[in-house]
Structure 1
Amino acid sequence: MKKLPLKIVLLFTVLFASSNLFAQDFQGKAYYVSKTTMDMDEWGGRDMSPERKKQMMERMKSFLEKEYVLTFSQVESIYKEDEKLEAPGAGRGFRMGGSMTGGPKYKNVKTKEVIQDQEFFGKQFLIKDELKTIEWKMGTETKLIGQYTAFKATATVPVDRFDWRSMRRSNSDDEKKEKKKADKDSVKSTNTDITKSDDPLSEIEVPKTIDVVAWYTPQIPVNQGPDNYWGLPGLILEVNADRTTILCTKIVLNPSDKETIEQPKKGEVVTQAEYTEIITKKMQEMREMYGGRNRGRRGH
């Protein structure tokens, strides 16, 4: 009879040892730090001095580095930003994404429901949709995160086309040639159509999928996790997704003051597909406004 690998035995031991510790009314809080890296050279910073780059990164810090709290039970969770009082001037001069502010995100792993509180250009939305299943590939690699033994899992997930965290600049040689040609054609043309050179978003692209590495602990046997991530046999403590890392820094189990996990309720209810259509239309309006101003300048 073949012996089971030691790490598989460890996994089952941890699972069985933890299963009796969590009653139906169990609740916990996990605190996360989210950091997204940005290459300044990719966004026109090649000619900046090191001091200027440092200043820009400091201004963007409050946007690229955030703290979140995940309040979770066996079935439900709510993930929201742990907002801090900023120092005077912090974050000024950088408003990317400021008109698309994400609020609390509610997940129910039993009903497979996700609800995102979302602000878009001053209007409040409630994006209600099905909680998408993530096809995780389970690994046997482990590491310690704090006092918890975490196991590795990987997946390939689709990316929302308006997810700023995975946005990058299209700067291939072919695209540069195409842009130069479009610029020449737009000068010669009297056509009122918007050319690619008029479009401020034409040089931005988002990959269709990204590879994700997650680390979860069976010592907390709930299939919850930060942001959109869930579906593993233990709380997800760390996520590495493209340019973003989400890391758990603190866990409180069965706090004395339990918090009611409530669904967000304010805003116009839409599906994810409907919300994407709303954003697409708004972006089109902005393209037309931008293109109109450019044509006006060329006409003088």
Structure 2
Amino acid sequence: MDKIHKKTNSMKIKQLTIILTILIGPFLIAQEQLRIEYELTEPEENFKYSDLPNALDIKVPKRYYELILNKDESIWKSFEKVDNNQNDGTVGRVTFFSPYGDIYKNVKEKVKMFEANLNSKKYIVKDSLQEINWKIMQESKEILNIQVNKAIYINKEKGIELIAWYAPKLNFKNGPDEYWNLPGLILEIENLTYFDDNSKMYQTYTATKIETLPQNKKIIKPTKGTIITQKELDKILEENFDKMKEMEGEGVDKD
């Protein structure tokens, strides 16, 4: 009788193992390559300056991005999406232009790369991914019906505060833009920057869609341009800024 019970239990365990493999297997495989859509929202206060008329209404359109990733690599890029609320007769409208291309990240090698077009020259900015010393918190919530946990990073000296929500069940150390290095995919992050005049600026990236991709979809690194570091890029930008100030100064009439 004991042998029959043992045999029956063994069969049940085997059947349960097969069922779990069928149910869990595709989910694990599906995580090998994902595409996540993010929505970037910014308050109007980010774009209001003291030299603008107070009566001018500012309309900040939402921006949309996608993150395509596998276990080690990812590409971050913007994409167009119809927003029916953008043609509402608002007086002032913010438009965006960036000289930078898509952001490639390799979290295994801790490398980032992106293209930059400056001074009619093409560059590839290649540098190390910034290590963020996250502090894991106890709070959790749901995004797209997925549990996410909270993590924060605060640098008072630079006036930076990051609030991230990551999904431990999506086992990728990656996230939107250049954010990464949490034990799960970052589905939402808020970036607050504080200035000396007590003003602040903040942006929020929130995931709005997750889908699986064929595993043979290749993530391509930037290839066109002279390779420089982030420090060298910052120097070029600083020189450009100084030239602009100099040209503005020369354009002022001196009586």
**TM-score normalised by length of structure 2:** 0.75
State the partner residue of 1:77: 74
Shift of 1:117: 1.9
Q: Which has the higher strand share?
A: 2
Which blocks of at least 5 consecutive residues in structure 2 are unaligned? Answer: 1-22, 193-201
Counterpart among 215, 219, 223 of residue 265 in structure 1: 223
Could you list the per-position Cα deviations for residues 235-272 of structure 1 after superposition, in whole angstroms to 9, with x for gaps in the alignment?
Answer: 1000010110000000012x247531111111221100
Counterpart among 7, 22, 32 of residue 26 in structure 1: 32
Could you list the per-position Cα deviations for residues 23-49 of structure 1 after superposition, in whole angstroms to 9, with x for gaps in the alignment?
Answer: 59910011001122242554434x432
Which blocks of at least 5 consecutive residues in structure 1 are unaligned? Answer: 1-16, 159-206
| Gap change, CA 1:112 and 1:256, over 3 Å in 2 | closer
State the partner residue of 1:116: 114
1:84-103 → structure 2 map (5 Å cutoff): 84=81, 98=97, 100-103=98-101
| Bigger relative CO (Cα 8 Å, ≥ 6 apart) | 1
Q: Larger deviation: 231-240 or 31-40?
A: 31-40
Amino acid in structure 2 at the alignment position of 1:268: T
Could you list the per-position Cα deviations for residues 246-300 of structure 1 after superposition, in whole angstroms to 9, with x for gaps in the alignment?
Answer: 00000012x2475311111112211000000011111111111111111xx123x
Shift of 1:147: 1.1
Is the CA contact (8 Å cut-off) linking 1:18 and 1:218 kept in structure 2? no
State the partner residue of 1:232: 182
Could you list the per-position Cα deviations for residues 150-181 of structure 1 after superposition, in whole angstroms to 9, with x for gaps in the alignment?
Answer: 000001369xxxxxxxxxxxxxxxxxxxxxxx
Distance 2:51 2:140 in 1: 40
State the partner residue of 1:44: 51
Q: Which has the higher helix share?
A: 1
Q: Report the secondary structure of 1:155's partner residue.
A: strand
**2:236 counterpart of 1:278:** yes
**2:237 counterpart of 1:287:** no
Q: Report the secondary structure of 1:22's partner residue.
A: helix
**Number of residue pairs matched?**
220
**2:202 counterpart of 1:246:** no
Distance 1:120 1:96 in 2: 19
Is the CA contact (8 Å cut-off) linking 1:213 and 1:239 kept in structure 2? yes
State the partner residue of 1:211: 161
1:146-161 → structure 2 map (5 Å cutoff): 146-156=144-154
Shift of 1:103: 1.5
Larger radius of gyration: 2
State the partner residue of 1:35: 41
Shift of 1:84: 4.3
State the partner residue of 1:177: none
RMSD: 3.2
Could you list the per-position Cα deviations for residues 154-210 of structure 1 after superposition, in whole angstroms to 9, with x for gaps in the alignment?
Answer: 01369xxxxxxxxxxxxxxxxxxxxxxxxxxxxxxxxxxxxxxxxxxxxxxxx8341
Distance 1:19 1:143 in 2: 26
| Gap change, CA 1:154 and 1:25, over 3 Å in 2 | closer
State the partner residue of 2:195: none
- Identity of counterpart residues, as a percentage? 29
State the partner residue of 2:19: none
**2:181 counterpart of 1:222:** no
Distance 2:25 2:107 in 1: 18
Is the CA contact (8 Å cut-off) linking 1:18 and 1:219 kept in structure 2? no
Distance 1:116 1:157 in 2: 25
Amino acid in structure 2 at the alignment position of 1:233: P
Could you list the per-position Cα deviations for residues 199-228 of structure 1 after superposition, in whole angstroms to 9, with x for gaps in the alignment?
Answer: xxxxxxxx8341000000011111110001
State the partner residue of 1:136: 134
Q: Report the secondary structure of 2:241's partner residue.
A: helix
